[in-house]
Structure 1
Amino acid sequence: MINQSNTLAFYNSNAHSFIEQTIDVNMSLLYQPFIDNLPVRPISNQNILDLGCGSGRDSMHFANLGFNVTAIDSSSALLDLAKAAAQKRMDYQDTIEWHCATFQDIIQKNWQRQFTAIWACASLLHVPYKELPELIDGLLHMLTDDGVFYASFKYSDNEHVKDNRFFCDMNEKRWETIKQKTNHEFKDKIWLTNDQRADRDEKWFNIMIKR
């Protein structure tokens, strides 16, 4: 099992700069297909799990639309700054429930069928490839029967370490292998997008799962 402590240490040590780089990135090209695929229910009855919330950018966006949001991050430094940003930027920051927890912590929680959607934007990419099928199975247990799961990875076919952070990349072949190893049946759609940060020239592999 790959030691994730270096990745976590990076985010705790670089929380301020990471938030500055990400909190104002325009994510509308990803928000819309996600929202379009949500179950047909009143917004106030929908619970979104923001998995690896980072700057809190996406949690704040969904909460501003009226969704109930549970924001998770394993970096206490990032989570504290995200909460502070929400207090400054939102009138109703109490619509976000914040938790400092790892992915494995979340799997142990009694959250079966609690969420109509899971948003995992650039977060599962820190999980080793061989661990993803079991983790995805555990997360799918948390979705309602009509729930939606979005995830994104850097587009490639390997695992690597950059700036002391571990990255698991994804492509079509790797994703097909993961699907065969999960215990859930689901429909999925995959597509590529460009990084929305001005100083990046990377492609991202996007996945939309519907139960």
Structure 2
Amino acid sequence: MTNQSNTLAFYNSNAHSFIEQTVDVNMRLLYQPFVDNLPVRSKSNQNILDLGCGSGRDSMYFTNLGFNVTAVDSSSALIDLAKAAAQKGMDYQDTIEWHCATFQDFIQKNWQRQFTAIWACASLLHVPYKDLPELMDALLCMLTDDGVFYASFKYGDNEHVKDNRFFCDMNEKRWEAMKQKTNHEFKDDIWLTDDQRVDRDEKWFNIMIKQ
């Protein structure tokens, strides 16, 4: 199996435990700068793409604020569990559109200029570094002209496999080099945060892009 298929197999096999570990993590310190940078539009005219939605935690948060959300994950097991959890709250089910798709499937969708924001929290870190520029270009094409893009990676300077999952780490140098390989010009802010999960001592590399 390839690194990508091993990673997907991990999430399909460990969906319940992964959700238990992540669904209640306090994300307020990341939500706030993301929401603050959204275009000046009514919430009903904001379409947020939650790329790698996992437990559905973030999709439900943004929906609860009044935004329209499209939630995508390559793990069918995670999508099924997240969708079931969201539908227990009737307010959510009409405003989250769920899709099970790999990154390869995803970039084939005709979603150009469809989203005012993309939220890629701890999801692009499963993509090989050499493939990130092409994927980033495809994603940026899905943003409106005033759109915002958030992504986060584990802080580091290499690629590795842990628990059968492939990880691409990111730091300042790697990010600057990757930017030079994209076909888009954009403004970006980067900053580090601590992992909010219990018993985790890791740093995260956060990126906020405005077109």
TM range (shorter): over 0.9
Gaps of 5+ in 1: none
The separation in 2 between residues aligned to 1:125 and 1:81, in whole angstroms, is 22
TM-score, with structure 2 as normaliser: 0.98
Task: Specify the alignment match of 1:105 in structure 2.
Answer: 105
Provide the secondary structure at the position in 2 that maps to 1:108: coil
Contact 1:11 1:75 in 2 (8 A): yes
Task: Specify the alignment match of 1:138 in structure 2.
Answer: 138
Residue 92 of structure 1 and its aligned partner are, at CA, apart by 3.0
Provide the secondary structure at the position in 1 that maps to 2:145: strand
The separation in 1 between residues aligned to 2:92 and 2:59, in whole angstroms, is 12
TM-score, with structure 1 as normaliser: 0.98
Residue 13 of structure 1 and its aligned partner are, at CA, apart by 0.2
The separation in 1 between residues aligned to 2:16 and 2:54, in whole angstroms, is 11
Misfit runs of 4+, over 6 Å: none
The separation in 1 between residues aligned to 2:204 and 2:120, in whole angstroms, is 13
2:176 is aligned with what amino acid?
Answer: E
1:50 is aligned with what amino acid?
Answer: D
Query: RMSD of the alignment, in Å?
Result: 0.8
1:152 is aligned with what amino acid?
Answer: S
Task: Specify the alignment match of 2:163 in structure 1.
Answer: 163
The separation in 2 between residues aligned to 1:178 and 1:117, in whole angstroms, is 21
> Aligned runs of 1:1-211 on 2, under 5 Å?
3-211=3-211
The separation in 2 between residues aligned to 1:51 and 1:123, in whole angstroms, is 7
Residue 65 of structure 1 and its aligned partner are, at CA, apart by 0.5
Paired positions, count: 210
Cα deviations by residue, 1:33-75 (Å, 9 ceiling, x for unpaired): 0000000000100000000000000000000001000000000
Residue 157 of structure 1 and its aligned partner are, at CA, apart by 0.2
The separation in 2 between residues aligned to 1:88 and 1:158, in whole angstroms, is 40
Cα deviations by residue, 1:59-108 (Å, 9 ceiling, x for unpaired): 00000001000000000000000001101245232200000001121111
The separation in 1 between residues aligned to 2:210 and 2:163, in whole angstroms, is 34
Provide the secondary structure at the position in 2 that maps to 1:150: strand
Contact 1:60 1:90 in 2 (8 A): no
Identical aligned residues as a percent = 89
The separation in 2 between residues aligned to 1:116 and 1:97, in whole angstroms, is 15
Residue 3 of structure 1 and its aligned partner are, at CA, apart by 3.7
Gaps of 5+ in 2: none
Cα deviations by residue, 1:90-144 (Å, 9 ceiling, x for unpaired): 5232200000001121111110000000000000000000000000000000000
